[in-house]
Structure 1
């Protein structure tokens, strides 16, 4: 049985362009795919026939040979053509190539991309990271801050196309816009990135002199960033579309700002709570009394110290901590006492302390308990 004319199989004229042939093939492949024609026993053979026709007509050299000699160009009758079954002819074992075409061309759109390098012609720009250090006060109040970000922006000379004068890129002649080329090695078809267009599927005949054909240039950008109140170290802020410009007019990436809150000389932070260690005199701790402490909002808080307070004792100022980043009640501020032993005593102070010590045998319960335990320990060791 004689083979049908390949142009008739795909339903195109002999003067059809490569894009028209590809479009016709994809339409036929979708119509005839066996998975969609379970009730049509002839669909599989027609599907293979369409693949066979496309394998020849998509290749410029094979198409030229077919236009001149017809099917005889691939039957061995014209001398130089590929042999059937050698992997290069339409009737041969080029199953890998046809199989790849089916999935790339038929299902590429359903998988969110295009065949070969076509989906990368206008590549999305890279996401950028910017580390921003703020003070604890800035984290408490929030702020509007201007930052300078070095990044790649769309070239204004070529409007991001990469071509001189803003001209559109043209289809790569090596891969016919696919972004990849195939080479037959025995029974296997090896596919690799097109060396001419680097997988983009397009080339620029006259590259823009300002950007060298990339469609983007390096430049520092000043951006205004809103830092919300309550941020802490590790908080990430995303600025959509403020990343690196896309290649040849592609969409830009995003900018991610990572917050680092600097340590404070007075306050330690744990979530929304703040901790402040306050030194107090031995006399104040013993007698008790009120002291003033700083708060993160720049104000003052008054704290009453109970008589007989020890180092490490904590007192709380409610709602004087950090604000919650995503709403909710603010944290608390905890005052931790650090009882300070006096230094550089005068003779009179030493005299008074010795007199005080002589009168304080019953005023140090922790010390009395400790040394009582020590005496019991020593006695047990002797026994």
Structure 2
């Protein structure tokens, strides 16, 4: 089922400013907040959907990718990005400040706020680079990668931090010329987790974590581009205690193809033919992204002609179809001639069939380049 447009979810236009997007999200989040809609699953889904929209539209880079590629820039089949893959702790930890005092100071019930609930930390993200061939990009691929993650060691026991009483923050009061000012800072004892280690195995670090190798399956959609980043939720480092795992950020690196050059969703192929082939016309097998394709060249074909094979390029990330394969014809001039061959061409110098006679409809090189990019 297709996903609803992020701008439509928040009720803003594509030209909305960052402040307008923030205000629209706050309005939606307050409307569907779990504290206002206890036990209402539909409201909870709307709350997550609004967070998903805001997560993307509030980030300039993500917004640009969304405007260009739509949901496909973040989703994929393997769980990339977005609020539907965030739990309530993710949402409140990232966007909690937007609610201000709408729900009693800065509290959010049991979802990681400061009104008596224990704060949950989020683990750090991991980043990897995945190299893809042009064939893999054209068809989509599932990659299995080995990731070294920090996970909580078996047998670790935690206790409530006595310094912050499990809040993860401590209040400080300072005297200023404006009077006594109160501020909250991250607890220096527990690092904001609200817990300290009571006991741990010898192989665990100071936070009760150990390194483990895990094989992660990543489903990469067809049409991704070099430099694009995908997110696999929950496959980063674990957080101490009852924390939320970080994410695995996957950077795409496109490997250069031996014959094909990519330009967006289109592919380019240089086909070299001889004088004889150009004059007589032949059939040729050329490289395409999913195997060889046979094309027929008309007799008298000129060097510089571009043949467009519809739909033989890269699929659109937005599922709008495929790009094209552009075949560039290059007539190869022989460099070493035999005596007989030289005599043949010398006789041809004055033959009217060998004298260039471009037709009015023949396009110049610059016109062909212009057509190629239009």
Q: Which residue in 2 is equivalent to 1:294?
A: 287
- Provide the residue aligned with 1:339 in structure 2: 331
- Residue 303 of structure 1 is matched in structure 2 by 296
Rounded to whole Å, the distance in 1 between the matches of 2:256 and 2:347 is 44
Q: Count residues in correspondence.
A: 255
Deviation by residue 1:282-317 (Cα, 9 ceiling, x = unmatched): 23223433333222212332222341x332211122
Corresponding residue for residue 270 of structure 1: 263
Q: CA deviation at 1:336?
A: 0.6
User: Going by fraction, where is helix more abundant, 1 or 2?
Assistant: 1
- In structure 1, the residue matched to 2:65 is none
What are the ranges of 5 or more consecutive residues in structure 1 without an aligned counterpart? 1-102, 367-383
Whether 1:364 aligns to 2:362 is no
Cα shift at 1:104? 12
**For the Cα contact (< 8 Å) 2:161–2:190, is it kept in 1?**
no
Contact 1:215 1:249 in 2 (8 A): no
Asked whether 1:146 is paired with 2:136, we answer no
Q: CA RMSD in A?
A: 3.2
Q: Tell me: CA distance 1:283–1:360, structure 2 relative to 1, closer, same or farther (3 Å).
A: farther
CA deviations over 1:184-241 (Å, ceiling 9, x no partner): 5475456554443344443334344332341322222211222333333244433221
Distance in 2, Cα, partners of 1:201 & 1:288: 78
User: 2:135 and 2:271 mapped to 1: Cα distance?
Assistant: 19
Match in the other structure for 1:313: 305
TM-score by length of 2: 0.59
Q: For the residues of structure 2 that align with 1:320 and 1:123, how far apart are their CA atoms?
A: 48
Aligned pairs for 1:54-69 (under 5 A) are none
Stretch deviating more after TM superposition (325-334 or 238-247): 325-334
Matched residue, 2:214: 221
Unaligned runs of 5+ in 2: 1-100, 359-374
- Cα distance, 1:130 vs structure 2: 1.9
Name 1:247's counterpart in structure 2.
240
| Counterpart for residue 345 of structure 2 | 353
CA contact (8 A) 1:121 1:202 kept: no
Q: For residues 250 and 190 of structure 1, what CA distance do their matches in structure 2 show?
A: 27
SS in 1 for 2:319: coil
What residue number does 1:114 align with?
A: 113
Distance in 2, Cα, partners of 1:104 & 1:360 = 87
Closer/same/farther in 2, CA of residues 126 and 198 from structure 1, 3 Å limit:
closer
Distance 1:188 1:208, change over 3 A: farther
Return the TM-score normalized by structure 1.
Answer: 0.58
